[in-house]
Copies of this chain bind each other. A is one copy, B any other.
Amino acid sequence: MFRLMHINLILATRHCRNMATVTTPQIAEEVSKLLDLKAKLNDDNAGPQKFIIKTPKGTRDYNPEQMALRLSVLDKIITVFKRHGAETIDTPIFELKEVLTGKYGEDSKLIYDLKDQGGELLALRYDLTVPFARYLAMTKLTNIKRYHIAKVYRRDNPAMTKGRYREFYQCDFDIAGQYDLMLPDSECLRVIAEALNALDLGSYKIKINHRRLLDGIFATCGVPQDKFRGICSAVDKLDKASWEEVRKEMIEEKQLDPVIADKIGVYVSKHGRSDLIKELRDDVELMKQATAVEALNALELLLKYCDIYKLTDKISFELSLARGLDYYTGIIYEAVLIGDNVEVGSIAGGGRYDNLVGMFDVKKKIVPCVGISLGVERIFSVLEAKIASSGVKTRTTEVDVFVATAQKNLHEERMRLITDLWDAGLNAEQSYKKSPRLLDQLQHCEEYGIPLAIIVGQSELARGEVTLREIKTRIEKAVPREKLISEIRQWIKNSQKEF
């Protein structure tokens, strides 16, 4: 009953709060009384919890098994980023609200705002790209190759079964600087390929397109210039929706002439490689658009560089690729798994955004950028499913040896011994019970995949020895105390060779 009253009071006060700007002093007084009453009620109930313990909607904890997988995935990705010479930076989890305003188009409504507690108006970062651009403008850096792995926040309706959350990791690699055409862009595609190969996710393809080619196509089809971004965002939905649905959105929501929509439909069904570039070059109407000519030259060069980077069989030039975000200005790309994992959708994406840094610079100084973002949450989902079906247990610790006792009250002996192991830099664990059962200790080793156990016993101690046991084979041998560390090190060395 208390809980019910509590909820009603919250509803009552919240209702009043929303009405606040049109309220009268009398209402404010009532609210104040209710709040007092509520505070009193809370005091009465200081004991047991009155709410359900959970993480916020769309978020989750990562348990040790999930973290072990995540860290190994991130480690592989970082290895690739470092192979290409990237530095890393970090930025705060929140930004001044103004920094994020006007950067995400329709999706701006998904930004998490912080409460105005006096001082600056803040919002949680929505991606890592806008903070990166803000960082570049602030530091006046004209070139940098950086990676950034961190969480971002979107008040989306979470589809958590599909690996979509309100809090999720992004893994970004970007190259900023005034460089020659397609040299940084092609390396970004190479980085995507190396990362996906390292993660062993199965077959994938990288779709590429060019924003200015889409602009040229829209112009050729007769789309009014002010509708370009809206139509582009409709085309972007083609990876999830059918052409009929997208056509409907263009005509009904975006008020596009059906004849124009159908012209677009012909273009966005096309995909290929050099053959498609050739086909488009033969399109006399399209070639009247300077942006299309420029984009095709860029795409042709990109395909040539991809060939040198041994990426040709992964690349697919697809006119239906549009990318949702407003800030892209050139090449865009997106990697998707093919074969068994089609339903996962895009697992990496990115493109060129030459004007974003300038939006933060007082003198509008341009720093051209191109980058990629790996969709690690989806990658985690794929790998978690793979691991679950394989039945292999992920180790969550890196303990080499467990120090056990077979008899009671030998904990101080154990502690003396484990001190030596720690001093030698070995990863060693023990029970925090004075007299644990041997069986429990060995079971702990099995459960956590600890390969070795030292068994400390009274009679062995008297002889200056301990028992070293290999958990998997259950083979035990007596080892002189002073040779223990070198013995363990030798065992670790040998076992690493086996891999």
Task: Point out the residues of chain B lying under 8 angstroms from A119, CB to CB.
Answer: 57
A213 interfacial by beta-carbon distance below 8 Å: no
Assembly CA distance A95 to B398 (angstroms): 30
Query: A interface, how many residues as a size bin?
Result: 35 or more
A419 interfacial by beta-carbon distance below 8 Å: yes
Q: Are B56 and A94 interface neighbours, CB within 8 A?
A: yes
Among B68, B151, B187, B359, contact of A93 (Cβ-Cβ < 8 Å):
B151
Assembly CA distance A135 to B62 (angstroms): 10
Q: A328 → chain B, closest Cβ, in Å?
A: 19
Nearest residue, chain B, Cβ from A420? B310
Task: Point out the residues of chain B lying under 8 angstroms from A71, CB to CB.
Answer: 88
Nearest residue, chain B, Cβ from A137? B53
Q: What per-residue 1/0 map shows which CB atoms of A298-310 lie under 8 Å from chain B?
A: 0000000100111
Task: Point out the residues of chain B lying under 8 angstroms from A84, CB to CB.
Answer: 422, 427-429
Interface-facing stretch out of A176-184, A257-265, A331-339, A466-474: A176-184
Q: Are A396 and B83 interface neighbours, CB within 8 A?
A: no
Task: Point out the residues of chain B lying under 8 angstroms from A41, CB to CB.
Answer: none
Q: A266 → chain B, closest Cβ, in Å?
A: 34
Q: Are A82 and B20 interface neighbours, CB within 8 A?
A: no
Task: Point out the residues of chain B lying under 8 angstroms from A411, CB to CB.
Answer: 180, 183
Q: Which of A119-160 contact B (CB under 8 A)?
A: 119-120, 122, 124, 134-135, 137-139, 144, 146, 151, 153, 155
Assembly CA distance A423 to B198 (angstroms): 11
A98 interfacial by beta-carbon distance below 8 Å: yes
A499 interfacial by beta-carbon distance below 8 Å: no
Nearest residue, chain B, Cβ from A70? B90
Q: A32 → chain B, closest Cβ, in Å?
A: 8
Known: A53-B137, A308-B416. A396 touches B87 (CB 8 A): yes
Task: State the oligomeric state as a number of copies.
Answer: 2
Nearest residue, chain B, Cβ from A98? B51
A497 interfacial by beta-carbon distance below 8 Å: no
Q: Are B83 and A67 interface neighbours, CB within 8 A?
A: no
Q: A201 → chain B, closest Cβ, in Å?
A: 19
Those 5 A-B pairs whose CB atoms lie nearest each other, nearest first: A179-B432, A85-B429, A64-B87, A59-B92, A113-B115
- Please report A residues at the B interface, Cβ cutoff 8 Å: 14, 17, 20-25, 28, 31, 46, 48-51, 53-57, 59-64, 67-68, 70-71, 82-96, 98-99, 102, 112-117, 119-120, 122, 124, 134-135, 137-139, 144, 146, 151, 153, 155, 167, 175, 177, 179-180, 183-184, 186-187, 190, 194, 305, 308-310, 359-362, 364, 396-399, 411-412, 415-416, 419, 422-423, 425-429, 432-434, 448
Q: A17-B116, A113-B115, A180-B434 are in contact. List 18 more A-B contacts (CB 8 A).
A: A49-B98, A54-B96, A56-B95, A59-B94, A61-B135, A64-B89, A67-B88, A83-B425, A86-B397, A93-B93, A93-B151, A93-B153, A175-B432, A177-B432, A183-B432, A184-B432, A187-B432, A309-B419
Q: List 29 A-B contacts (CB under 8 A).
A: A20-B23, A48-B362, A49-B360, A53-B137, A56-B94, A59-B92, A61-B139, A62-B91, A64-B87, A64-B89, A64-B146, A67-B87, A67-B90, A68-B88, A82-B427, A84-B427, A84-B428, A85-B399, A93-B151, A94-B167, A112-B117, A113-B114, A114-B114, A117-B155, A177-B432, A179-B432, A180-B411, A183-B411, A305-B415
